[in-house]
Each structure stands twice: as C-alpha cells, then as structure tokens.
Structure 1
Amino acid sequence: MDDWIDYYDSTHTIYASKLHRDLHFQVIARDIVSYIPAPDAVVLDYSCGEALSAAKVADSCMTLILAEPAPGVRGRLIARFAPNTKIRVRSLDELRNMQEASIDLVVMNSVAQYMSEADFDAALAVIRRLLKPSGKFVLGDVLRPDVGMVRDVLALLMFAGRNGFLKDALVGLVATALSDYRQLRTKVGLQRYSEADILARLKKAGLSAVRAPKNIGHNRWRMTFVARPMTGTA
C-alpha cells in the first residue's frame, strides 16, 4: 500500500477537473450519511483521502474521525477542518490505541484495492475491535475480478455526462493513460475480490455481512458490503 500512499500524497491528476473532484466527494458524503444510524453516532472514515465534503457527514453525526495514512493529506485535513469541532483527524497507527467498542459506524470506501491481502485483514481486525456490538461496518467500492478497466472508464463517462464535465473527462482519461497512476496500476496492480471472497474475509474477522444493493459512489459495477459484529466474537 506504501506506493499508493505516496501517489495520493503527491500532486496527482486522478480527477478530470475541479468539478469532477468536488462531485466525487459530494456523492460519497451523501452515501455515507445514508448509513449513519443516529445524530449522536461516532463515525470513522478509514483511509478517507481528501474528504472534501466531510463537513456534510459531520453534520449528521456527533463525531467524525478521519483516519488517513498519507501525511501530506492528513496535514491538509487538519488545516481544512480545524474550525469544525465535530471532526478529528488521526493516522491509521493512532486507531490501534483508540478505545475498544467506541465506534458506531466505520466506512472504508475505495481502499481495499490498494491494500495487500495481509494489510486488508489487519485493517479488518482493527475495525472489528473498534466497533460497538451494535455498530456497522460499510466496505465500499470493492473491485470485482470479472470487471476490468473498461467498465471503470464507462462509469466515469456516464457520471461525467450526467454532470456536465464529459469533455474534461475525455481529456483526463488521456492524461491518466500517460500518468504515474497508469504506470503504478500496471506495476503494483489493484486487488480484486469476488463477493464470496469478501464475505469469507469479513466472517474470519468476526463480522457478519451482506452485499448492499447499491455501491457507494458512482461506479455501479463495484461492490459495497454492510457488516456487523458477530455475537460472541471479540
């Protein structure tokens, strides 16, 4: 995951335009809000990225914890949300020292593909420890082994067409094909999981899960899962 952390900590061109970037985070924030169980909930966004619309999520809960591994991104989060007393920024290492069973909702969106299987399992163990017995874990934007990059491109173009940045998206796709992202994706690759794989990994971590009918974000060919702690597991 270190290579991907370095990439997202750099000045990258993953978004076709400012409008694309802003809409991306707005849609994710909207979908996360739909999973918040109550206004007094404590929510953890695991590997949150820039989280530009986090304030909208914070408006719907008591506390929002933004956990981010990239130090540069984390610094920007601290600066951006310093005035918001409902938002706290943490490193992933700091999560290991947080109180057990203290989180109502954990969201990990568009992250599993960048992690090794061992790192993914380790993250699930941390998340399971932090979840309250009544808590919920939402694992979003999981890549499937039977769906390739063509569908990702199509999903982006459909999203762009609906929201008025199709020209920028087309130009951005060309730029991405020539960018460090494309080279890194070819070199390091992305982890893909079947529905059965994810359910088995979550069960091994002490979480009972089902696949959600709709993915978080705009890509309908990726998967989201909703999990809860299994009774009698720690």
Structure 2
Amino acid sequence: MDDWIDYYDSTHTIYASKRHRDLHFQLIARDIIGYIGSPDAVVLDYACGEALSAAKVADACGLLYLAEPAPGVRGRLIARFAPNTKIRVRSLEDVRKMPEQSIDLVVMNSVIQYMTPDEFEGALTTIRRLLKPSGRLVIGDVLRPEVGMPRDVIALLRFAAAYGFLRDALVGLVSTALSDYRQLRSRVGLQRYSEADMVARLTANGFTGSRVAVNIGHNPWRMTFVARPSLAT
C-alpha cells in the first residue's frame, strides 16, 4: 500500500476536472449518509482520501473520524475541517489505538484494491475490535476479477455525460493513460476479489456480511459489502 499512499500524497491527475472531483466526493458522501442509522452515530471513514464532502456526512451523524494514511492529505484534512467540531482527523496508527467497541459505522470505500491481502486482514482485525456489537462495516468499490479497465472507462463516461463533464473526461482519460497512475497500476497492480472470496474473508475475520445491490459511487460494475461483527468471537 505504501506506493499508493505516496501516489495519493503527490500532485496527481486522477480526476478529469474540478467538477469531476467535487461530484465524486458528493456522490460518495450521499451514499455513506444512507448507511448512517442514527443522528448520534459515531462514524469512521477508513483511508478517506480528500473527503471533500465530509461536512455533509458529519451533519448526518454524531461524530465523524477521518482516518487517512497519507500525511500530506491528512494535513489538508486537518486544515479544511479544523472549525468543524464533529470531525476528527486521525492516522491509521491512531485508529489502532482507539477504544474498543466505540464505533457504530466504519466505511472503507475504494480502499482495499490498494492493500495487500495481509493489510486488508489487518484492517479487518482493527475494525472488528472498534465496532460496537450492533455496528456495521461497509466496504465499497470492490474490484471484481472478471471486470477490467474498459468497464471503468464506460462507467466514467456515463457519469460524465450525466453530469456535464464529458469533454473533460475524454481529455482526462488520455492524460491518465500517460500518467504515473497508469504506470503504477501496471507495476504494482490492484487487488480484485470475487463475491465469494469477500464473504469468506469477512467470515474468517469475525464478520457476517454480504454484497448489497448498489455500489457506493458511480461505478455499477464494482461491489459493495455490508458486514456486522459475528456473535461468535
């Protein structure tokens, strides 16, 4: 995951335009809010990225933790949300030290493709300890083994056409093809999981989970899973 952390901590061009970036985070925030069960809920966004619309999520819950491994991104989060008393920014190391059974909802969106399987299982161990017995884990934007980059391109172009940045998206695709992101993706790769593999990994790490019908975000060919701590420990 370190190579990807370094990439996202740099000045990258993964978004086609400011409109693309802003809409991306607005859509994710909307979908996360749909999983918040109570206005008093304590929510943890694990490896949250820039989280530009986090204030909307915070408005819908009692307290929002933004956990981010990239130090530069984390610094921007602290600066951006310092006035908001319902948002607290943490490193992943900080998260591992948080009190047991203190979180109602954990969201990992578009994260596990950048983690090794061991890193993913380590994160599940931490999250299992943090979640309240009634808490939920939502893992979104999971890449499937049988779905390749062409579907990602189609999903982006449909998203862009629907929200008015199609030209920027087409230019952005050319830029991405020549960018460090494409080179890093080719060199390091991204982790992909089948539905059965995800359910098995969740079960092996103390969760009961299943795939839900609609993925978080704009890409319908990726998967979202919702899990709860198993009764048996």
Q: TM-score, normalised by structure 1?
A: 0.99
Map residues 49-64 of structure 1 onto 2, 5 A cutoff.
Answer: 49-64=49-64
Counterpart CA distance in 2 for 1:45 and 1:154 is 27
Deviations 1:64-84 (A, max 9, x none): 000000000000000000000
Cross-structure match for 1:100: 100
Map residues 149-164 of structure 1 onto 2, 5 A cutoff.
Answer: 149-164=149-164
Counterpart CA distance in 2 for 1:175 and 1:132 is 44
Per the TM alignment, residue 60 of structure 1 is displaced from its structure 2 partner at its CA by 0.3
SS state of the match for residue 215, structure 1? Answer: coil
Counterpart CA distance in 1 for 2:51 and 2:204 is 30
CA RMSD between the two structures: 0.3
Cross-structure match for 2:172: 172
Moved over 2 A (4+): none
5+ residue gaps, structure 1, are none
Counterpart CA distance in 1 for 2:39 and 2:232 is 28
Counterpart CA distance in 2 for 1:62 and 1:223 is 27
Cross-structure match for 1:11: 11
Q: What is the percent sequence identity of the aligned residues?
A: 76
In structure 2, give the amino acid aligned to 1:62: G
Counterpart CA distance in 1 for 2:210 and 2:3 is 31
Cross-structure match for 1:216: 216
Counterpart CA distance in 1 for 2:124 and 2:17 is 33
Cross-structure match for 1:133: 133
Counterpart CA distance in 1 for 2:62 and 2:148 is 39
Q: TM-score, normalised by structure 2?
A: 1.00
Per the TM alignment, residue 210 of structure 1 is displaced from its structure 2 partner at its CA by 1.1
SS state of the match for residue 37, structure 1? Answer: coil
In structure 1, give the amino acid aligned to 2:100: E
Per the TM alignment, residue 232 of structure 1 is displaced from its structure 2 partner at its CA by 2.5
The count of corresponding residues between Structure 1 and Structure 2 is 233
2:22 is equivalent to residue 39 of structure 1 = no
SS state of the match for residue 140, structure 1? Answer: strand
